Amino acid sequence: MTTKKHKGITLLSGNKTKYPQSPDEAVLESFDNTHPDRNYWIEFDCPEFTSICPITGQPDFGHISIRYVPDKLCLESKSLKLYLFSFRNHGAFHEEATNRILDDIVAAITPRKAVVEGRFNPRGGIAIAVSATYPSENIQL
């Protein structure tokens, strides 16, 4: 049953799931934050993230962690699952994928703070970890 407060959620109500073929096709849905007066963290963990190398077309496997402090909206988890799944056929370097996920989350819900971390399995003996934050923090190099 969809209520006014849950009007933006459509993917949970269907009995057949349509898997998007790319992040451009995917939709991040949201619902109203019932505690907008409070700062609290919401965490999502995707230990089986897959994308493809934009040069070789070979699969890349990684672990994506998302943490955010919501403002007016919260991410709906099934839409996030389908969004992350859509990278499976999407060619992107690890740095690009991690930053794209953060950008799309910020565009969808405008959180107070968000951190997306990607830890990717070794390829050629080197593992890569990428961390992107919103809002951008001053980092001294």
Confidence of residue 1 (pLDDT cuts 50, 70, 90): very low
Query: Could you tell me the residue range of the domain that residue 30 belongs to?
Result: 25-134
Which residue would you say has higher pLDDT here, 9 or 49?
A: 49
Whether 139 is in a domain gets the answer no
Whether 113 is in a domain gets the answer yes
Q: Which of the residues are catalytic?
A: 53, 60
Whether 9 is in a domain gets the answer no
Whether 4 is in a domain gets the answer no
DSSP 21: S
The pTM (predicted TM-score) of the whole model is: 0.87
pLDDT for the residue numbered 2: 47
Are 133 and 115 spatial neighbours (Cβ–Cβ below 8 Å)? yes
Sign of CA dihedral 23, 97, 138, 70: positive
Number of domains observed in the structure of the chain: 1
Whether 108 is in a domain gets the answer yes
State how far the alpha carbon of 100 is from the alpha carbons of 71, 76, 107, in Å. Answer: 20, 18, 10
CATH of the domain at 73: 3.30.1130.10
Residues 6+ apart with CB under 8 A from 52: 58, 59, 60, 88, 89, 90, 91, 92
Whether 102 is in a domain gets the answer yes
Whether 141 is in a domain gets the answer no
Chain segment 71-105, per-residue pLDDT in tens: 999 999 999 999 999 999 899 999 999 999 999 99
